[in-house]
Amino acid sequence: MNPRVVTVTPGDDYTLSLVFTNGEKGTYDCHDLLDHGVFKELRDKSYFKQVRAEHGSIAWPHEQDICPDTLYLDSRKESV
């Protein structure tokens, strides 16, 4: 099982700064989601910034979420 999300901080550019259970930090770019189905609501930056860490993943108030494995595998990790 891949590490899970501990904290999430939204950026002004539709990115998410993530900290995982193994201590790694990464950045996940949400741009590719903004034109698809329920994720279109994320275009509203004030709504996008309401993201929260929940159950090892992330979610928004209207229950949009992203698979924790996707967040870990597709995030750009910070170099140590």
Asked if residue 43 belongs to a domain, the reply is yes
Asked if residue 78 belongs to a domain, the reply is no
Asked if residue 9 belongs to a domain, the reply is yes
Find the domain containing 55 and state its range: 5-71
Strand, coil or helix: 29: strand
* pTM, rounded to two decimals: 0.93
Count of domains for the chain: 1
Longest dimension (CA), the chain: 36
Asked if residue 39 belongs to a domain, the reply is yes
Asked if residue 76 belongs to a domain, the reply is no
Listed in sequence order, the DSSP H helices in 1-80 are 45-48, 68-74
Q: Are 67 and 17 in contact (CB under 8 A)?
A: no
In the block, which residue shows the tokens 């770019």?
Answer: 29
CATH number of the domain within which 49 lies: 3.30.2020.10
pLDDT in tens, the chain (80 residues): 899 999 999 999 999 999 999 999 999 999 999 999 999 999 999 999 999 999 999 999 999 999 999 999 999 999 75
* Nearest-angstrom CA–CA distance, 35 and 40: 5
Q: Which of 40, 41, 27 is nearest to 78 (CA)?
A: 27
